[in-house]
Amino acid sequence: MHGLSKKNSRLVQWDEKRRSTQKVTLFLASLWHRPTLIRVAIVLAVTVATTFLADAWSHSIPYRVGEVWPHDVRTRVDFEVENLAKTEEDRDAAVERLPPHERNNPILCARLRQAIPVVVDRYPAGTILIQRGQVVTEDKRQLLRAESRAYHKSMKWAARGRRYFALFLLMSLLALLVVLYVVRYQPTLAQDTPRIIALGVLILLTHFLWLVLSQPPWHGGLLPLTVTGMILAIAFRPQFALLMCFALSIALTASRGNGMDHLLVQIGGQAVAILLLRNVRTRTQLIEIGAAAGLGYLAMTLASALLTHQTWPMILSDGVRRFLWGALAGFLVSGCLPLIERCFGVVTDVSLMELADGSHVLLQELVKRAPGTYNHSMTVANLAEHAAEAIGANSLLTRVGSYFHDIGKMLKPQYFIENQNGANLHDTLEPGLSTLIIIGHVKDGAALAEQYRLPQVLIDFIQQHHGTTLVEYFYRVALRQQEQQGHTPTLAEGSPCALESSFRYPGPKPQTREAGIVMLTDAVESSSRALAEPTPSSLRKLVRDMLMKRLLDGQFDESGLTLTELHRIEESLCKGLIALYHSRIKYPEARERRVA
C-alpha cells in the first residue's frame, strides 16, 4: 500500500495538460514575431493570387474536341445562340424563290438576304447539350462555350463571391497542409524567407503557364507541371516535392473543372520524375528523366482513357502529345539548371562534377603556389569520400569540399609546414602572431571563394573545417613562454584558461555531416605526416585520439553525426590511412662486379 501511494503521488506531480498548454502558448507566441509574420504574409499572398488566377480563368471550359464525355452535360441557364448555318439556308432559299430575271440582280439579292432575320436557337435551363458517351464535336464545343459565357454573365455578385470564397478555401486548405508539413518536418525551410519567396513565385508562374498552355490546340499544361516537379525535386526533398506537386495538381484540376482522369495523369508523370531525380550527375540524365516522366504520362493516359471509354484516335493523340511535353521538360530543366541553382541556393551533382574538374582556376593556382597543400587536399578528398560513403552521406559533395577547404593557404603558403623546404618562418614570430596567420587561412579562403563565386555550400566547408578547435602547438608555446616569464595563468575550477580563447578558430562548428567528416579527415591526415613510424597500430591510435579529442571538445555537436556514424568514419579512415602508408618490399641492391 505504501508503494502504491508513493507511485500515485508521482503521477499526480506530472501535469501533462499544463505542459501541452505551455507548448501551445510558446508556439502561438512565436507566430507574432516579425519574421514569422512576413513568411505568413507571403503564403497568404500566394494563396490569394492563385485564387485570383483560378477565378479569372473560370470562363475556360474543360471540353475537348474528340473526347467522350462520361456524363450528361446540361445547360445551367437559359441562353440563345445564332444559328448561322440555318440562317444561310433560309437566305439561300429566299433567293432561289425569286424570278430568274431578279435573281441575276446582286443588289436585289443582297437586300433580300439582309431582310431575312437571323435564326436564333434557344436553350432553356436543363437542356442536354452532350449526352453520356457522346463525342464532343467542334459545333458542340462552340455551343458549350456560349453556354459558359452566358452562365458567367448571368452570375450575380453573391454567386461570384461564393465561388471565389470556395476557391480561396480550397487553396487555403492546400496551403495549410503544406505549411504544417514544412513546420513539422522541414523547420529549416520554414525559417528561410528567400526560398519561401522563390517557391511562391514558382507556384504562381506554374499556375499561370498551366492556364495559358492548357488551351487548344496545345493542351500543354503538363509542360510547366513537369518542369516545376523536377525543380522542386532538385531544390528540396523528394517528399516535399511530391506533396507540393499533388497539392498543385489538385488545385489546378479543381479550378478548371477537369475530371479525375486528368488528375491521375498529372500525378503519375510528376511522381515518376520526382522519384527518379536523385544524384543527377549529368545533364543527359535530366533529359532521360523527362522522357521517363513522358512515359508515365503516356501510361496513365492509356489507363484513364480506357476507364472512361475514349476513342483510340483520342488516346493516341493524347498519349503522344503528353509524352512529348514530358520529354521537352527534361530539356528545359537541363538548360535552366544554373538559373535554378542560383534562385533556390542549391548545388546539384552536375555543378559539383564541373567543380571537381582539376582545371578550375583556384585549384590551378593552388598547385602553383602551394603544391604541398594541394597534395594534402587531394589526399583528404580521397579519405573523406570513402568515409562519407560509409555512412550514406553525400560523397561527391564531401570530395569537392575537400578540394577547396584549404585554398586560403595559397596567399601565404610559406607559413604552412607542408609547403616549407627547410627553414620554418614561425621560429622568428611570436605564438600569437603565428596563430593569427594560421587562423587567417580560413578567412582568406572564404574571401577567395566568394571572389570566384563558389557555391555557399563550399564556402561552408572552408569556414567550418576547423570549427572552434584550438591551435594547440602555438597555444602550448605561449603557455611555456608565460611560465618562463613568471606569469603562470590562473585557472578557475571548471573553466578553460583565459589565454585559450585567443588561440581558437572563430568557427562555426561543422553544421553538416559532410563538414564534420572533412574536419576529422583533415586533422588525421595532417597528424599522420608527423608519425615517425606509421604502422597500422599507430595509425589506429592516432585516428582514435583525434576523434575523441574533437568529440569531447564538442566539435560534432551541430553536425548531426551520431556515435554509430563516427565509429564507421573511424574505421574507414583507419583503413584508408593504412592503405596510404602500406609497406613495400625492399629490393636488394645489385653488387658491382669488379672486372679484373
**3-state secondary structure string, 301-330?**
HHHHHHHCCCCHHHHHHHHHHHHHHHHHHH
Name the nearest CA neighbour of 363 among 276, 475, 448, 267: 448
Are 387 and 573 within 8 A, CB to CB?
A: yes
CA distances from 332 to 84, 267, 279, 286, 460 (A): 45, 20, 18, 9, 30
Q: What is the mean pLDDT of residues 244-271?
A: 89
What pLDDT is recorded for position 260? 85
Contact status, residue 545 vs residue 503, Cβ threshold 8 Å = no
Least confident of 246-250, 264-268, 355-359, 563-567: 355-359
Q: What is the mean pLDDT of residues 295-306?
A: 93
| pLDDT score of 273 more than 60 | yes
Q: How much is the pLDDT for 81? A: 81
With 90 as the cut, is the pLDDT of residue 191 above it? no
To 10 degrees, the CA torsion angle through 186, 188, 189, 195? Answer: -160
Q: How confident is the model at residue 20 (pLDDT cuts 50, 70, 90)?
A: very low
Q: How far apart are CA 305 and CA 518, in angstroms?
A: 54
Q: Give residue 585's pLDDT.
A: 66
- 517, pLDDT greater than 60: yes
Render pLDDT for 457-503 as a digit per residue (tens, 0 to 9): 999 999 999 999 999 889 888 888 887 776 666 555 555 666 788 89
Assess contact for 136 and 64: CB atoms under 8 A: yes
Residue 258, all three cell numbers: 477537369
Closest CA to 236 of 294, 154, 168, 178: 178
**What pLDDT sits at residue 101?**
73
Separation CA 348–CA 343 (nearest Å): 13
Task: Note the pLDDT of residue 352.
Answer: 92
Tell me what pLDDT residue 24 has. Answer: 47
- The arithmetic mean of pLDDT across residues 24-40, rounded, is 71
Mean pLDDT for 30-35 is: 74
Mean pLDDT (whole number) for 249-264: 85
Rounded to whole angstroms, how far apart are CA atoms 164 and 158?
10
**Least confident span in 18-22, 199-203, 279-283, 316-320:** 18-22
Residues 551-560 have a mean pLDDT of 94
pLDDT band at 59 (very low <50, low <70, confident <90, very high): low
Mean pLDDT of the region 44-48: 94
pLDDT surpassing 70 at residue 309 = yes
Q: Which of 14-18, 26-30, 551-555 has the lowest mean pLDDT?
A: 14-18
Higher-confidence residue of 33 and 292: namely 292
Check if the beta carbon of residue 266 is closer than 8 Å to that of residue 250. no
What percent of the chain is modeled with pLDDT above 70?
90
The pTM for the full model equals 0.79
Q: Which three cell numbers stand for residue 453?
A: 563565386
Regarding predicted confidence, which is higher, 518 or 252?
518
Of 375, 373, 382, 418, whose CA–CA distance to 400 is shortest?
A: 382
Q: How far apart are CA 76 and CA 24, in angstroms?
A: 48
C-alpha cell at 252: 489546378
pLDDT at 457: 93
AA identity, residue 27: F
Check pLDDT > 90 for residue 47: yes
If you average pLDDT over residues 276-287, what whole number do you get? 86
Domains for the chain: give ranges and CATH numbers: 73-157 (no CATH), 168-346 (1.10.1760.20), 361-488+497-580 (1.10.3210)
